Amino acid sequence: MPPKRGEIIEEVEDHKKTGVELETLEGEEEETILIPWDPNLIRVDAKSFSLRNILDMIDEGDLELAPDFQRRAVWNNRQRSRLVESLLLRIPLPAFYFSANEDGKMLVVDGLQRLSAIYDFVRRKPNDKRFYKLDKLEYLQKEVGKKAFKEIEGTLWARRIYATQIIANVVDPQTPNKVKFDVFKRINTGGSPLNAQEIRHCMSKTRSREFLKKLATSDAFNKATNENLRDHIRMVDREVILRFCAFRLIDSIEKDYAPMETMNAFLTEINKKIDTEVTDERLEQLAKDFEQAMDNAYKLFGKRAFRKWPAGNEKSYPINRALFEAWGNILADYDWQTLKPVKGAILKAARKMMTDDNEFLSAISTSTSGVSKINLRFSKIRQILKDAGL
């Protein structure tokens, strides 16, 4: 059932609230590719690997199990044990998807939990929390139940694991980002499909992943968001930070955002630029701007920063992405000593706007990625600070 007009809905994952407001679309609107890409641009090669080869590649850093992927370790011991049992029974595994980069290294996009379960059994040491022994098997409990890999090493069972052949569809780095993004969006085969930020994580390089992680684990960010996004299970922490960075890095919304087909395409392009074009000095300044924005937001709004907070309503609502990117970018331009004398005026005007300005409420609630909506929320927030004398 679609939400009622003006209703604030919190996103839910695995029956748990995520602390983030659900972005709604008008009618049946959804993000689509306005200019269809040429199917000939899809470059995917099916390759066969032995599991021994795969495990060695992981150890050597040539195949990454989506580092810092929050959803990577959700299988329990029974599920992991049954997967290994399938290998021992010579039951073929479904195909995997890997994303290759220009350096020849690959990152697991689809099949992450399966490969993690196998790697954890075969290569983890007993002092690692991901180490486990096989148990609760359907057919081989008597033969290998209650045993760690070390206890079956050198036996027929270990040889079966190592000799197992898997098929991996490897997406070539020459595949355009827009095409690659759409391919990854379509190929999820297990559990909850990857969301847009998780796909970007799988497409990105170490530089952007480490930069976003650095900001996501900062004290300023987690204080401003009241710890609601720390280690977020669906990487919304990285998404809102990327949105802040994206609008901070462009010259203008009309010139740099409007030509993009969707918000996802825009964020994917900015993520790529962080990996390949943005200088170290610019990233350092971006990190400083971000910390200042987070400090200012907390000092202005306290625990309700980046949340809807209408006048007369003291309920704490989930974090709103549109408010985060707009207030974050604007507050990054001021030091606290400039804002402090007019804090009361800013707070009063902001709450009033979130109470009875229907245009602004629409710009932060429904189809928020439209150019006109982005321009409107940025301009109205800037006007609040201008009216306060800044």
Residue 32 has pLDDT above 60, yes or no: no
Of 46-55, 141-150, 251-260, 295-304, least confident by mean pLDDT is 251-260
Predicted pLDDT at 175: 84
Of 18-27, 197-206, 281-290, 367-376, least confident by mean pLDDT is 18-27
Residue 36 has pLDDT above 90, yes or no: no
Of 24-33, 115-124, 226-235, 294-303, least confident by mean pLDDT is 24-33
Predicted pLDDT at 134: 97
The average pLDDT across 72-87 equals 87
Two tokens at 355?
């109470």
DSSP 15-52: TEEEEEEPPB-STT-----SSPPPGGG--EEEEEEEHH
Give the Cα separation of 188 and 170 in Å (integer).
Answer: 14
Give the Cα separation of 221 and 242 in Å (integer).
Answer: 13
- Percent of the chain past pLDDT 70, that is, above it, reads 89
Predicted pLDDT at 112: 85
Are 120 and 80 in contact by the 8 Å Cβ rule? The answer is yes
Q: Between residues 72 and 15, which one has the greater pLDDT?
A: 15
Beta-bridged to residue 20, according to DSSP, are 319
Phi and psi at residue 108, in whole multiples of 5°? -75, 125
Q: What is the pTM of this model?
A: 0.82
Half-sphere exposure of 257 (CA within 13 A, CB side): 21
The average pLDDT across 338-359 equals 96
Model confidence over 141-172: pLDDT tens digits? 999 999 999 999 999 999 999 999 999 999 88
Predicted pLDDT at 71: 55
Predicted pLDDT at 170: 93
Predicted pLDDT at 67: 63
Predicted pLDDT at 6: 60
Model confidence over 58-78: pLDDT tens digits? 999 999 886 666 554 568 899
Predicted pLDDT at 207: 93
Residue 202 has pLDDT above 70, yes or no: yes
Are 106 and 62 in contact by the 8 Å Cβ rule? The answer is yes
369 by DSSP, 3-state: which? coil
Are 246 and 267 in contact by the 8 Å Cβ rule? The answer is yes
Of 177-186, 290-299, 340-349, 377-386, least confident by mean pLDDT is 177-186
Model confidence over 103-148: pLDDT tens digits? 888 988 888 889 999 999 999 999 999 999 999 999 999 999 999 9
Two tokens at 364?
């932060």
Two tokens at 230?
């720390």
